[in-house]
A and B are shown apart, each in its own frame.
Chain A
């Protein structure tokens, strides 16, 4: 039986300058991370961004070109997969088709030769609501049930780190939402470190304590979901995580807490804390749901950032919200989401309006970046 260090001895998962090259292609490029023990961590990015390769290196299924992986104090960079205190929930589930659910779940425990297999397996089957299916073979289960077996088979081993490789990718939307809640509940109950790889930003935001946005083998930004969403650090993060309106602008004047920034017409204010230092050419960003539409072309609350004389070019009714495309005086189309609260009138294409949003909701990014970064990728992935 493979000897595996006890999870109790281990702590944070640490990646240091982790790099993986396939020939001349760099899949993972100098990734350094510290994932605290017991946290729910998401690696979010479009397909091909290196997130799965990173995961596979942590699992030991791929050898890093260089760099280091540590779990707690122990360097596991070159440890064989079967000796790592790490388990994976595979995207394809990879359930053993010739074994029953029970045998699948007991597989890891048996290999490690731990006692009380029967009790541990039934506890996990209970947790994942699979007790009634214990004697079935994987082929006799639905997609959602198979997914739960894959999860049960991994968490029963109480690994120091549980890796989830797009575990919900094969499920339909409704089941996916349900399993997101389920996964989060289970993580709370078992208290293991979950590292979740996904291209679904909503999934990452729903479940994770911390998200690392990956792009082209690098980590673009790392933080709590709300922090990432409200303060994207790059245009890629701004576009991949939700949607953003990015307007080309120049910094006119910095005061101690807010700065005045010139749009193509008019000016807006940006909190200095959300403005890159020492850069005058910026993208001014605002999330579509932060913008209000006012019926008169020159109205809106005083002190707010405003774009008067805008024209509605498209209005779609989405049920919970209304989505507008609004053309600014300088010809750029901005996206606006308005909640359907039944107040006020629904604007139609051609209506002359004024847009406004709070200056606190404004962020600014270095204009040296591509404003389109992360847009198509998200559409493709979603």
Chain B
């Protein structure tokens, strides 16, 4: 009956047909953008990575795959270090960002917009400046340093190999701190979005069904915020793994990350094929890691 009424109400009109092209038209600007600024450079990069030659003599595509194996074996340590630092920074950002996002979303009340702006506020200054600021913060004359020295935390971190000697700067600790700080908003915002959508009535219902607050968190809040956790960790891990600023400004040669190496090969050593090969390897490694992660976290249904 309902179907009949529907066709009667709109005689001669085939719904959908007229608008069939609209999605493609809407996709067009984005696709063009991606094509010109992502796919084409990727092809250049791939081709570059397989070329031989030098800046002076010019490059020729020789399908020299050895560039990959050579650069990978040479910089395996920097590769691993990048992932290690990125992993630790992501974990720290999650540990800091989750309570922060939770508080803003569920407990802040009228302060919610203010706190949210404060999370985004660092974006108003440049990434570089913010990282440079950390040089000042962790400076040998700084308060943080004083705190670390008087509490003898510095000897602990030194013993663990996180810092070297009598300073905080130029250390793995400083690099990871910088990474954590710089990408914290990318962790906090998706978490906030997830937690803000959480219906507080579900938490009441869990309490009504004999769940203590901690159980409610574990069984309801956390699983329901998994999309935010996944998005936040990806948005933190990926840029942290490829970052080349933090290790440069806050680290030492022993903390060099792969982004820094690529940066050097492109801009200082001018060995384009090696830089391109490293870039490509990095991209692939991240792609694989991310797909495994997303698949294993199994949050498709919640998104």
Q: Are A82 and B211 in contact (CB under 8 A)?
A: yes
B117 sits at the interface (CB 8 A): no
Q: Is the interface of B mostly helix, strand, loop or mixed?
A: helix
Q: Residues of B within 8 Å of A, CB-based: how many?
A: 19
- Range of interface residues on chain A? 20 to 34
Q: Hey, which chain B residues are within 8 Å of A81, CB to CB?
A: 204, 207-208
Q: Are B210 and A108 in contact (CB under 8 A)?
A: yes
Question: Of residues A60, A82, A153, which shows the largest number of chain B Cβ atoms within 10 Å of its Cβ?
Answer: A82
Whether A108 touches B209, Cβ cut-off 8 Å, given contacts A94-B201, A94-B202, A96-B220, is yes
Given contacts A81-B204, A96-B206, A154-B209, 12 further A-B contacts (CB under 8 A): A1-B210, A2-B212, A61-B207, A86-B208, A88-B205, A90-B201, A90-B204, A94-B199, A94-B204, A97-B202, A153-B209, A157-B210
Chain A residues within CB distance 8 Å of chain B: 1-2, 4, 59-61, 80-83, 86-88, 90, 92, 94-98, 107-108, 111-112, 137, 153-154, 157
Whether A87 touches B208, Cβ cut-off 8 Å, given contacts A94-B199, A94-B202, A137-B301, is yes
Q: Are A90 and B205 in contact (CB under 8 A)?
A: yes
Rounded to whole angstroms, the CA-CA distance of A60 and B212 in the bound complex is: 13
Q: Are B204 and A82 in contact (CB under 8 A)?
A: no
How near does chain A come to B122, taking the closest CB pair, in angstroms? Answer: 33
Q: Hey, which chain A residues are within 8 Å of B204, CB to CB?
A: 61, 81, 90, 94
B145 sits at the interface (CB 8 A): no
Rounded to whole angstroms, the CA-CA distance of A4 and B207 in the bound complex is: 13
How near does chain B come to A378, taking the closest CB pair, in angstroms? Answer: 27
B223 sits at the interface (CB 8 A): yes
Rounded to whole angstroms, the CA-CA distance of A122 and B269 in the bound complex is: 70
How near does chain A come to B298, taking the closest CB pair, in angstroms? Answer: 11
Rounded to whole angstroms, the CA-CA distance of A92 and B201 in the bound complex is: 8
Rounded to whole angstroms, the CA-CA distance of A96 and B301 in the bound complex is: 13
B215 sits at the interface (CB 8 A): yes
Q: Hey, which chain A residues are within 8 Å of B223, CB to CB?
A: 98
Whether A98 touches B208, Cβ cut-off 8 Å, given contacts A90-B201, A137-B301, is no
Q: Are B202 and A96 in contact (CB under 8 A)?
A: yes
Q: Hey, which chain B residues are within 8 Å of A137, CB to CB?
A: 301
Question: Of residues B219, B223, B224, B301, which shows the largest number of chain A Cβ atoms within 10 Å of its Cβ?
Answer: B219
Rounded to whole angstroms, the CA-CA distance of A112 and B215 in the bound complex is: 11
How near does chain A come to B127, taking the closest CB pair, in angstroms? Answer: 36
Q: Which residue on chain A has the smallest CB distance to residue B202? A: A94
B302 sits at the interface (CB 8 A): yes
Rounded to whole angstroms, the CA-CA distance of A86 and B204 in the bound complex is: 13
Rounded to whole angstroms, the CA-CA distance of A81 and B206 in the bound complex is: 9
Rounded to whole angstroms, the CA-CA distance of A113 and B18 in the bound complex is: 58
Instruction: Give which listed residue, A86, A90, A97, A108, contacts B224 with CB less than 8 A.
Output: A97
Instruction: Give which listed residue, B201, B207, B210, contacts A112 with CB less than 8 A.
Output: B210
Q: Hey, which chain A residues are within 8 Å of B220, CB to CB?
A: 96
Question: Nearest 7 pairs between A and B by C-beta?
Answer: A94-B205, A108-B209, A111-B210, A81-B207, A94-B201, A2-B210, A88-B208
Q: Hey, which chain A residues are within 8 Å of B199, CB to CB?
A: 92, 94
Q: Are A107 and B209 in contact (CB under 8 A)?
A: yes
A-B contact pairs, 26 of them (CB 8 A): A2-B210, A2-B211, A2-B212, A59-B208, A61-B204, A80-B207, A82-B208, A82-B212, A86-B208, A90-B201, A90-B204, A94-B199, A94-B201, A94-B204, A96-B202, A96-B205, A96-B206, A98-B301, A98-B302, A107-B211, A111-B209, A111-B211, A111-B212, A111-B215, A157-B209, A157-B210
Q: Hey, which chain A residues are within 8 Å of B219, CB to CB?
A: 96, 107
Whether A87 touches B209, Cβ cut-off 8 Å, given contacts A96-B220, A98-B223, A137-B301, is yes
Q: Are A107 and B206 in contact (CB under 8 A)?
A: yes
Q: Hey, which chain A residues are within 8 Å of B302, CB to CB?
A: 97-98
Q: Which residue on chain A has the smallest CB distance to residue B201? A: A94
Q: Which residue on chain A has the smallest CB distance to residue B213? A: A82
Rounded to whole angstroms, the CA-CA distance of A83 and B208 in the bound complex is: 8
Rounded to whole angstroms, the CA-CA distance of A168 and B201 in the bound complex is: 17
